[in-house]
Structure 1
Amino acid sequence: MTRSSLMRASDALATQTATYAIPLLILLTTGSTALTGAAFLLEWLPRLAAFAVGGPLVDRFRADRVFRAAALARTLLCAAAAAALALLPAAGTAATVVVMTVGAAGGLLSQASFLAVETLGAHASRRAGADAHRVQSVQIGIDQSALLAGPLLGGLLLAVGPTLMLTVVAALSATAAASTTTTPATPVGTTAAGVRAVAASLRTGWHTVRGIPALAWLVTGLVASNLALAVTQASAPITVMTRYGHSSIAVGAVWSAAGLVSLAAVAACRRSIDRFGLWPVGATGAATACAACLATALAPNLGVYAVTIGILMAGEGALTVVLRTLRARLIPAAVFGSTLSVTIVLVVLPMPVAGALVAVLPAGTLPGLLLACAVLQGAAMALAFRGLWHHRASYAPSRTAADPTATGPPAAAQTDAPRTA
């Protein structure tokens, strides 16, 4: 258990540190807000491909092998980049190319390791039997701790220098590779029979989403909500460092504090849903997120900005709980995996779109972009929760009680990372 916890913790911390630090590094290296948005775009585009094909790869080659290979590759990538930046001029085309390459390749490798470690976690839960919930509690605690610590650690390391930041990420990745736990070999013949064509799997998932109105409405609202959140994240380094004149440490501190607020909101929502139901809690979370997004665009200083980001993440945390609960109740067990992949791809798609928008628009127009996204988010969420109200019978708790298999596997419901990054 100690070895698997070290593996998961080091990988999660490396991923969260790099995810938040790479756009900051671009801004520090180039001073270009356009390239900062492009870095966010290049981080998320490869992840979309990993979501679609990563599951079959893990099934075919075993999770421990995929995880170890991804961790070792990220170690070499970050170590080489750290050495290159130490030798290259602090600013220039060569340094920019190195950092952008790390962002693109690192995003793909991070997602591959995430899918593999989720599979390893599910295997550990099955081995634990009646104590599976304890294993899941430890894993979720590790992920949430990395989510809180990663942005702040990235900001602190960048204050010293980009070479140190990349070296630390490389060391964390090497630790993850060295502590990888081994899973038993898959019986001959079962893996090949269990792997479906990616295109066929995605088609099945797409038809399932379209065939369940409540799920379709939920995904529609979350796509718009994630666009607003992604624009906020992609523009955060520019807003804090250019508009408010603070350091990279402040960027990490804002998002780490917001992650803590989100974690508290998630914990509170579990009891609130038991008492009030999914629809009221989800609608409250959506209204909170929309209002906070509007306020973030208008924040006059860093203090107000930090408060609005915290409130925004609290609303998003509530929406995450609603997403996972509804998704588990609505998706039939027989097509859970394929439908899960489609829902993840759809809600993550706004991430690279946000990076592209931040890249092409001048820095001075970013508050206006965020306002527009907040208005779109409000309209989409209003329609989505109207649709969810009309189809509320389809996700009533009695349905779950009547059909235990409709809840889906608990481990799978934890793979919605984009909602909590």
Structure 2
Amino acid sequence: MAGRGLAALGDQFLLFAIPLLAYKLTGSASQTGLIFLVEWLPRVIFLPVAGVFADRIHSYILYIGSDIVRSGLALTAFTLMYVIPDGKFLTLCVLAAGMSLGGAQSYVALEATLPRFIPMDQMIRAQSIIQGTEQTSEVAGPVLAALLASALPTTSLLAVIGVVYGLTTLNTLSLRRWLRTESLAGAAAEPTTFRSVITGIGEGVSTLRKLPAILGLVGLTMTVNLMVGIGMATSAATTVGVFRQPDKYYGILSTGAGIVGILTFFVVPKLAKRMNPFAALMTSYSLICLGGIGVGLANTFAEYAVSYAVLLGTVGFFNVIIRTERVRRIPREHFAKTIAIIILLNQLSLPIAGFLVTLLTTSFSPQNIILGSVIGSACAVVLLVPLLAHLRNFHAHPGPAPSHGQDDPLRDRN
């Protein structure tokens, strides 16, 4: 988790550096938008393939491969910025696309690793730790990147990013004795070919269709991502345009949300023990909606900032619950490929949120748009209740942690 947390910090450095470099190079918002597209489109397209790989290939190999590729890309891009100054924008595009693929593979591999090593009775705690490391990186990453950018040339951030991913590679190498004990449930014997990958993607889709509770979770997550996406997309306009605050106050919003998210790391495991999954999910969803309503009705920036922190920060609670239920209900032999399809569907809400904001801002205020998203989400959830009600029925696949304790290198020492 420490190593993956460091990788998440590298991701945050990357999210800071690439748009900043693109805008400095071109001075064009549209070109910066193109970089954003190049950064996310390959990730979404590659997710199903990453899921098939995670079910067929040990996570140790996937972590090593993705981190080496990302480290090499960042250091190569840093070098090319000086060697070929006229090709800086093209270099950034290639860097963004390559990092996108590596990030997708690493993320899906992590999702697949947990149920192979963590017992089900410890899953809530493990998922809370992951959520805590992600939220910490989201708070610390932009701050550290900004400090580095003030002391170093912006292009030097690429070298820093390369070093960070190099350190995550060393971290994985240091854990090779443990990670190599991983058991792949139902791993296919035939070689991984184009045809077998397509077949694996089809198996992931087929598995998802047979799990009503997971289908309900996907629909619910898409509505949450829509609310959060619209909240994020309108936050700058609301802070500067509606409440007339200086640009620096915009950073306060993300920091507040990150702090609330970190607090969930301590609270969620205790709450989860006292509530069934359906109740915990509805509680977290209600908190997100409450934050959205507060954002829409805020009359002062202080009210807006607190509501925004609730809207984004309590998503951590929501994520821990849905991740745990996915581990509990998805068959082990199809876990990663199914998770990849789920993540793809969930992330589709983010570009849709951006499109809706672009479409509606000419007719409605940013706060009215977020209120509309909350109302629309609530209406959709009413339709999803029959699927989500399946969460009340306990269900877990046998052998929740097939690798736990098997061939443990520490066994011989005890």
**1:246 aligned partner, one-letter code:** D
- Structure-1 residue corresponding to 2:41: 45
2:376 corresponding residue in structure 1: 379
Query: Would the alpha carbon gap of residues 261 and 110 (structure 1) be closer, same or farther in structure 2, given more than 3 Å must change?
Result: same
Q: TM-score, normalised by structure 2?
A: 0.74
Decide whether the 8 Å contact of 2:63 with 2:106 is kept in 1: yes
Q: Provide, for residues 63-85 of structure 1, a one-character-per-residue CA deviation record: whole Å limited to 9, x for no partner.
A: 33433332232223223333455
Q: Is the CA contact (8 Å cut-off) linking 2:70 and 2:99 kept in structure 1? A: yes
Closer, same or farther: CA 373–116 of 1 in aligned 2, 3 Å: same
Residue 165 of structure 1: CA displacement?
2.2
Contact 1:293 1:370 in 2 (8 A): no
Provide the secondary structure at the position in 1 that maps to 2:322.
helix
Q: TM-score, normalised by structure 1?
A: 0.73
Q: CA shift at 1:255, angstroms?
A: 2.2
Question: Following TM superposition, by how much is the alpha carbon of 1:352 offset from its aligned partner in structure 2, in angstroms?
Answer: 4.2
- Amino acid across the alignment from 1:384: V
Q: What amino acid is the match of 1:71?
A: D
Contact 1:40 1:352 in 2 (8 A): no
> Any unmatched runs of 5+ in structure 1?
412-421
For the pair 1:55 / 2:51, whether they are aligned, the reply is yes
Q: From the superposition, tell whether residues 9 and 409 of structure 1 become closer, same or farther in structure 2 (CA, over 3 Å).
A: same
Structure 2 residue aligned with 1:149: 140
Distance 2:155 2:205 in 1: 43
Aligned residues: 392
1:23 aligns with 2:19: yes
**Structure 2 residue matching 1:197: 3-state secondary structure:** helix
Superposed CA offset, 1:181-208 (max 9, x none): 2354999x96534969333333333344
> Secondary structure at 2:172's aligned position in 1?
coil
Q: Please give the per-residue CA displacement for 1:110-159, whole angstroms capped at 9, x wherever unaligned.
A: 22233445566667x37x9x999998887665444334322322333344
Q: Spell out, residue by residue over 1:354-373, the C-alpha distance to the aligned partner (whole angstroms, 9 max, x if none).
A: 56667x779x7598467436
| Cα separation, 2, equivalents of 1:143 and 1:136 | 11
Aligned equivalents of 1:298, 1:94: Cα separation in 2: 47
Bigger CA drift: 330-339 or 224-233? 330-339
User: Do residues 72 (structure 1) and 68 (structure 2) align?
Assistant: yes
CA drift of 1:384 comes to: 2.0
Q: Secondary structure at the match of 2:155?
A: helix
Match of 1:309 in 2: 308
Q: Distance in 2 between matches of 1:118 and 1:134?
A: 14
Q: Give me the whole-angstrom Cα distance separating, in 2, the residues matched to 1:159 and 1:240.
A: 24
The 5-angstrom pairing of residues 18-417 of structure 1 reads 18-27=14-23, 29-58=25-54, 62-85=58-81, 95-116=88-109, 125=117, 142-160=133-151, 161-181=153-173, 182=176, 183-184=179-180, 192-193=189-190, 197-233=196-232, 244-247=245-248, 254-265=253-264, 267-293=266-292, 295-296=294-295, 304-333=303-332, 335-354=334-353, 368=365, 371-372=368-369, 374-385=371-382, 387-388=384-385, 390-391=386-387, 394-396=390-392, 399-400=394-395, 404-405=396-397
Q: CA deviation at 1:347?
A: 0.6
Please give the root-mean-square deviation of Cα atoms over the aligned residues, in Å. Answer: 4.4
**Whole-Å Cα distance in 1 between the matches of residues 212 and 188 of structure 2?**
33
The letter for the 1-side match of 2:49 is V
Q: Write out per-residue CA displacement over residues 380-416 of structure 1, whole angstroms, 9 at most, x where no aligned residue.
A: 344325532x45652225x33xxx42795699xxxxx
In the alignment, is the contact (CA less than 8 A) between 2:292 and 2:307 conserved in 1? Answer: yes
- 2:56 and 2:327 map into 1 onto residues whose CA distance is 25
Inter-partner Cα distance in structure 2 for 1:214 and 1:118: 19
Post-superposition shift, 1:14?
0.7
Report the alpha carbon displacement of residue 294 of structure 1 after superposing the two structures with TM: 5.1
Question: Quick one: structure 1 residues 273 and 261, their matched pair in 2 at CA, closer, same or farther if it must change by over 3 Å?
Answer: same
Query: Partner of 1:414 in structure 2?
Result: none
